[in-house]
Amino acid sequence: MRKRCVLFILCFIVYAAGAQQRYSISHFTNRDGLPANSIKGMEWDARTSLLWIGTEGGIVRWDGSNFEISGSKASRVLQMGSTEGNHSPFYAVCDNDSVYLIEQGRVRTWYRHRDELAFRQLHLPDSAEIFAPIRKGPGTIIWPAWLLPVSASLDTVLIFFNRNVYLREGRQVRKLLGAVGGAQLLRMRGHALVYTEKGLLHYDPQRRELRPTGIAGFRTPEDHFIRNDGERPPMLLRNGTLYRLAAGAGDRWRLDPVCTRLPAGIQPQFVRELPHQGIIVLADAINGIYMLRQQFIRQLTDTTGTIPSSQLVTYGQALLPDGRILSHSGVVYDRSGPMPGKNLPVGSSPNLVRFRQHLYFAPLGNLFRFHLGTGTSEQFATPFENGDWSTMVEMRKELYFIAHSLVARLSGNELREVYRFPESPGVPLLPNNTAIEWSAGTLLIGSGNYVRFLDVDRKTLRSVKVSETAPVRNLWRTGQGVFICTYGDGLFLLRNDSCYRLPWDKSGHLRFAHAIVPDGQGACYISTNNGIFKVSEKALYASALTGAPVYYHYLGKEDGLEQTELNGGGQPAYLQLPDKTLSFPSINGLVQFHPDSLRIGPPPGVILVSATVDGRPIDSFPARLGSDAKLFQFDVTVPFWGARENLYAWYRLRRKGEPDGASRWIPFDPARQRAFTFTALKADRYAFEVRTFKGFTSGDFSVRSFPFDVAPPWYATLPFLVLWVLLGFALSWLLFYVRTRQLRARSAQLETTVAQRTREIELQKQQLGQQLKLVSEAHDLKERLIAVISHNIITPLRYIHRATTMMRDDARSLDPALREKAVDSINDTSLELELLSVNLLNWIRLQHQQVQAVPEAFTFSEIAAHVQGLLGAVARSKGQAIVLQGDGSISLYQLKDALQVILYNLVLNAITHSGGTTCTLECRKEGTQVLVSVADDGRGMPEGMKRKLAGDPAAQGTLKETDNQGKGFGFIIIRDLVRFIGGSLHLEPANPGTRITIVFGNQPSPSGKHPS
């Protein structure tokens, strides 16, 4: 609630005859969240544990903690009621001419009926048409206050109309009662009642008439009934006492008192009972809401002021033989409270332990005992000095006294030491606060922040640490272990020499726990510095081992505990009376209750959630939200009609598919926190989950899950993802294809470039080889040229010079024959020089790359005659003849000069070196080939000369220069010119002599034909 101001006007204890109960009263007004204090209607929705209140400020929803104006329904409520069956949904009629429907914790506009007859029928009945109930929708009926169905078929209806009471059966209407000032139509557990100023009338379905009902003490017309919910009995308020109508024998009825001394001036118009919660809610016409909560706990304290407050502070207590209770301060209590003037002499020790016929107590280190029979006390002499007997415990039907330093056993009328705690220098002894029997002969002692196992027979002691600092206050052994209460650190479970911490309650009151008490029905009660808690024993055990949350039900002021501070540290920590009533000490007397009388129902476990996304409501779950959803808001309501300390809730936002333990439950207080906001959630499936206890059992939760999906953006949906994948695949394939083509083109280009470069390199290699060959040949020719010039030219010229000089100087004395011979020698030498010069010129022309040879047409006889003309004289001087053999008229189309040089050199070589008599020239054709041969009949060409003429490099150095060989320029010219005209050179023996044949092809004539 926005700010709940609970005013306990009266907390009291009244014992009266009958079934009257005690109630605490809380008053709620507009200061606590109500929009207005004037109440026009009230309905209890058992399905959602919500109370709906109609006020002049609108429709109000009350969840036990907060008042909330439902939506924008701020119009003044005129009337509220239930639909068919007296259960939800409910309706509310407002002054804006609208009827609202209330169901599932929400309010919605049912229908607007401006200018409709139905709206007027709800308020101003003025015709017979009002005898029909008002229907709106299938199976839904509105029953105004002046209509009361009296049959299960709803065909029989009591109607108050125009100061008369009618009975409508089917379509028949008859008057039952007339001339009444006003009437209330009431229903109670199958009975139809009509209350007028004439009294209470009961409808008899057998006689179909109204019969008077007698009520003892009923006054008419001062008394006024308060209409209850559904079939519950109506109530009546008189002089501050609330009564409940109850059926008696025959026509006699009675009024049972419910609550006395209600505030003065209260004018309740509506009453609603919440029996499972022990609550009665009264709606006042002008003063708001009063809530009566039944009290189950009794605070036994002094109300007279005659007993000092210091004596009311209670620690130890003992049950007296007469059923009364004696406190450690000597005050005697009966079931009504402390009895002034009845104190007993028991001193002021916090421990008051009964053993057989005595009560033992030890004030200020002295041991006393009180005899229950005689009512007298006596000091019990002990042989121990400074024995502060802080703890007493019964084991094996013997009483043991435990001090800081020793343990003694009561034997007859004396104490005997059975064990002395070991002492260490400088280390103080632990205080022993409580003890229980662990087993036969073994005590379990709470010593400081330890528990110690003492075997009194074997004199052995072992310790187990419980808390770091908090002392042990109380021990309770169960079949599962020992539950330990500490003062400052809460509860622990001792099991197998290990201590397991238990969780605290939501307010932390269990931090200071005094005692834990079983009720024998699977539950236990824990007293603390601030109230009492009820909890399941199994839930405590499960929580200790697993850490699961525990439902601790808090009992405080609203349950009758006027003073919530209870006491601990004394013996016994609590007292269980013979009728199972539990009695706890407090700082203001005793606190008592019977476990069976406590109306402690489990939490209803109802969870209501309204959700919005970006301000738009989510009507149903699971919900699928768009990708543009940004702001998610959940409003959580957990109805609860008890103390806020008993309202536990957790929430979490979990992704779908996430393990249950992956998302941590976050606790929150529904009475203070209701709104939860989440922003910027990624596209996924979520579930907003809320849980609360619905019982005492461990893990007994009511869990509501609100699943919703946040859709991914359009570009992240499955079709678009597939499209993106396909597009990516297509782009990848296109990129791969383009890149592959580029690579292929590049590869082809590289291959072409490489091939081209390879060809160029090969060509360059060939050219380089040719150039190297040419360079080599040029080098050789250069050497030969130098040799020719130095020998074949210079020597003949020197010879000619000397011969001519001799002839000039010795001309007169020179013999004419010798002179003629010298002249002939000079002539021959000059001719050789001429021929050598011609060969040199031809070689130089051949080596010149700029020479452009042009083929021409000629006959073989032409070139043969030219050669004969040049070499005829030479041949004759050698005694040889040049003979043309065969057909000399053969036409050729070739390089004429080249053929002439070839033929010239061949004939010259034959004349010069063969030594024969005849040099034969011949030309013939074989197909397209032309064969030109030169043969001599001499001694033949040496083998080395043949290889040299064929161009064998190895033969270049095998021949030595002789008179018959020369330098070989003629052969070189022949070989190069043969290659130049595209022919080939063949050497063969002629027997005798040598035949050299040149084979070449006729080049095409300018007309395109070969010459014939």
Task: Please write the tens of the pLDDT for every residue from 529-542.
Answer: 999 999 999 999 99
Query: Mean pLDDT in the chain?
Result: 82
Q: Measuring CA to CA, which residue among 682, 638, 691, 639 is closest to residue 664?
A: 691
Which uninterrupted H or E stretch holds 238?
strand 235-238
Query: How many CA atoms lie less than 13 Å away from 302 in the CB half-sphere?
Result: 20
Residue 828, Cβ density class (10 Å: 0-12 exposed, 13-18 middle, ≥19 buried): middle
Cα–Cα dist 79/53, whole Å: 10
What are the residues whose beta carbons fall under 8 Å from the beta carbon of 482, sequence distance 6 or more?
436, 444, 451, 475, 476, 493, 494, 495
Phi-psi category of residue 968: left, alpha or beta, with phi > 0 → left and psi -120 to 50 → alpha? left
pLDDT of residue 331: 93
CB-based burial of residue 106 (10 Å sphere; 0-12 exposed, 13-18 middle, 19+ buried)?
Answer: middle
Q: Are 383 and 410 in contact (CB under 8 A)?
A: no
3-state secondary structure 850-876: CCCCCCEEEEHHHHHHHHHHHHHHHHH
Tell me how crowded residue 493 is: count the other CB atoms within 10 A of its CB: 20
Q: Could you check whether the bond before residue 89 is cis, i.e. omega within 30 degrees of 0?
A: yes
Tokens of 115: 């200018």
Tell me the C-alpha distance between 140 and 154, whole Å. 12
Any idea which residue has 């501050």 for tokens? Answer: 240
Q: CA angle, 705 as apex, 702 and 709 as ends, to 5°?
A: 175
Burial readout 844-859 (b: 16 or more C-beta within 10 A, e: otherwise): eebeeeeeeeebeebb
Give the pLDDT of residue 142. Answer: 64
pLDDT of 94 reads: 83
Instruction: Give the pLDDT of residue 791.
Output: 62
The vertex-291 CA angle with 289 and 293, nearest 5°, equals 180
pLDDT of residue 444: 96
Task: Return the pLDDT at 401.
Answer: 93
**Rounded-to-integer distance, Cα 307 and Cα 589, Å:** 11
Task: Give the pLDDT of residue 119.
Answer: 42
What tokens appear for 558 in the block? 């609203």
**N-term to C-term CA, the chain:** 134
Q: Which helix (H) or strand (E) holds 384?
A: none
d(CA 34, CA 784) in angstroms, rounded, equals: 138
Residue 365's contacts (CB-CB under 8 Å, 6 or more residues apart) are 386, 387, 388, 389
Name the burial class of residue 465, with classes exposed (0-12), middle (13-18) and buried (19+) by CB atoms within 10 angstroms of its CB: exposed
CA distance 2 to 829: 149
The secondary structure element, H or E, covering residue 590 is strand 589-593
The burial of 290, by beta-carbon neighbours within 10 Å (0-12 exposed, 13-18 middle, 19 or more buried), is given as: buried
Q: What is the reported pLDDT for 845?
A: 66
Answer yes or no: are the C-beta atoms of 58 and 109 closer than 8 Å.
no
Q: Provide the token pair at 677.
A: 């906001």
Predicted local confidence at residue 631, as pLDDT: 93
Q: Give the number of residues written for the chain.
A: 1012
Question: What does residue 131 show for φ and ψ, rounded to 5 degrees?
Answer: -70, -15
Phi, psi (rounded to 5 degrees) for 816: -60, -40
Residue that the structure tokens 């452009």 belong to: 852
Q: Tell me: the pLDDT tens digits for 354-369?
A: 999 999 998 877 888 9
d(CA 185, CA 196): 9
Euclidean distance between CA atoms 304 and 348, whole angstroms: 23
**Phi and psi, residue 535, nearest 5°:** -150, 155
The alpha carbon dihedral of 329, 333, 339, 343 has a sign of negative
pLDDT at 589: 93
Return the pLDDT at 224. Answer: 77
Query: What one-character DSSP code corresponds to residue 521?
Result: S
pTM comes to 0.69
Low-confidence ranges of the chain (pLDDT < 70): 1-20, 71-74, 84-87, 111-144, 152-154, 217-222, 385-387, 601-602, 781, 784, 787-788, 790-792, 811-812, 814, 835, 842-853, 944-945, 947-970, 1004-1012
* Residue at token pair 């695949």: 729
The predicted pLDDT at position 759 comes to 83
What is the sign, positive or negative, of the torsion defined by CA atoms of 909, 915, 918, 923? negative
